[in-house]
A and B are shown apart, each in its own frame.
Chain A
Amino acid sequence: MLKTRIMPTLLFKDLGLVKGIGFDSWRRVGSVMQAVKVYNLREVDELVFVDISATRDGRTPDLETVDTIADECFMPLTVGGGVRTIEDFRNLLRVGADKVAVNTAAVLNPSLIAEAARTFGEQCVVVSIDARRRPGGGHEVFTHAGTQPTGLDVVDFAREVERRGAGEILLTSIERDGTMSGYDLELVSSVSAAVGIGVIASGGAGRYHHMAEAILRGRASAVAAAAIFHYTEQTPLEAKRHLKERGIPVRL
């Protein structure tokens, strides 16, 4: 049986690893390499690595940094941040990413999704969707690290990116991100039900049971988490033990 993955997320900005709270305040939590080495040692299921300032600063992905990280990363790696072109995909895959995440570019230039899927296969195209609740219900897609509203409905957009060839959706709740108050289950379940590709729930994990809920109630195929691993004593391994007790297939 396919195992449910727990994916620690490393966000970096100007080369210092940071963890955001509500997407707008940043704190250093140590060097990227140290974190990668620890996760490597612990044999985590997969790592997500996002350069959150690349698009804002108009930069392309920092290949040198990704290369250095990937060289020490003997585990699956999804890389995002500043991805705009097929060349960005090609370069990131070459230096060691297994999957490439697109966020802002998926909205501004959705044909990139199909082009990347046709060239590199849909399995490596992750569309990262940052979502904020709408006052009247439902969720809206935001771009540029969660700062720009798009007017797009998250469920409609998720269906569209699947149709265009996305292989997986990394779905982040902007309000829950960094709060450790639990995933937005309504968001996760609405998108999981709408698409046939995998959905990675992100934003809000603070306790192991939050992860179990995102999987059992939200039907997420994987859970991403950052703050819980950076700021508490909780670990991916303990999280998986908890999931196992709840009857969720995990790799131990």
Chain B
Amino acid sequence: MRTVAIVNYGMSNVDSVARAVEECGGHPVVTSAAAELERAAAIILPGVGAYPDAMRNLRARGLEDVLREQVVERRIPFLGICLGMQMLATVGWEVEETRGLGWVPGEVRRLPAVPGVRIPHIGWNEVEITRETPLLTGIESGVDFYFVHSYHFVCHDSTHEVARTPYCGGFTSAITKENIFGTQFHPEKSQKRGFQLLRNFLAA
């Protein structure tokens, strides 16, 4: 059974992600300890929260360097969920300008205002696959996943986008860059398809 470190930086729904990983056959370890991250076969960065606080908390726990070592240098599989995906960007614009992890070139912006379209984007919406990725193997393009967010990831290199969602004119809802995966939606709350995605990640 693969040990999956779920990064706990005081911000998020770590328990839901851990339970989902367990249900999908992984061995979750919720942690903020560098040693545990070094031992993990894969890492998940969940996230519910505002961008500046999330980056601050991650840095205050001294986790940025060990994560970079594991993910960027040692290239172990990494999945960022919701805010965890947004944190991969170069910069975030929620509340104030905040430097992100910068592993996937891009920025995080508020969903554009469109008359009659409600923000935050909350609920089930289509995920349309734009590029093949191991993360979405066996998942039909256009099925619904659960979203709850007001900000979205804007890729600077469009080859990193693997799925889009038609809301507020359309936005990137999943990214892949080598061993680094990100989803704006919540696979841990998206029932069958979400579990399929997590199993794909555990097999990556």
Contact = CB atoms under 8 A, between A and B. Distances in A.
B65 interface: no
Contact of A221 (B16, B94, B118, B191): B118
Given A74-B188, A75-B189, A121-B50, A197 B120 contact: yes
B16 A123 contact: no
Interface stretch (B7-15, B132-140, B174-182): B7-15
Interface stretch (B35-43, B72-80, B142-150): B142-150
Contacts of A121: 48-50, 83, 94, 149-151
A1 B83 CA distance: 22
Interface residues of B, number: 41
Interface string B90-133: 00001100000000000000000000001111111110000000
B124 A168 contact: no
A120 B124 contact: no
Nearest to A99: B148
Contacts, number: 116
Contacts of A198: 118, 120, 122-123
B95 A118 contact: yes
Contact residues on A (Cβ < 8 Å of other chain), bracket: 35 or more
Contacts of A45: 123-124
B192 A43 contact: yes
Contacts of B13: 93-94, 96-98
A167 B122 contact: yes
A243 to B, nearest CB: 13
Given A43-B191, A99-B148, A198-B118, A222 B125 contact: no
A73 B19 CA distance: 9
Contacts of B119: 196-197
A80 to B, nearest CB: 16
A94 B166 contact: no
B154 interface: no
Interface in A183-207: 196-198
A168 B123 CA distance: 11
Interface string B1-41: 00000000011111110011001000000000000000000
A93 B50 CA distance: 13
Contact of B49 (A5, A95, A119, A222): A119
A140 to B, nearest CB: 25
A95 B15 contact: yes
A124 B49 CA distance: 8
Interface in A3-21: 3-5
A74 B150 contact: no
Contacts of A77: 189
B53 interface: yes
A90 interface: yes
A88 interface: no
A94 B14 CA distance: 6
Interface in B154-182: 166-167
A175 interface: no
A70 interface: yes
Given A43-B191, A93-B48, A94-B13, 18 more contacts: A2-B121, A46-B146, A70-B19, A74-B19, A74-B191, A76-B148, A93-B11, A96-B13, A96-B19, A98-B13, A99-B148, A120-B53, A168-B120, A196-B118, A197-B118, A197-B120, A221-B122, A251-B144
26 contacts: A2-B121, A3-B124, A3-B125, A5-B123, A46-B123, A46-B146, A70-B15, A70-B16, A71-B19, A74-B188, A74-B189, A76-B146, A76-B186, A90-B10, A93-B11, A93-B13, A94-B15, A99-B148, A117-B50, A119-B53, A120-B53, A121-B48, A123-B120, A196-B119, A198-B118, A198-B122
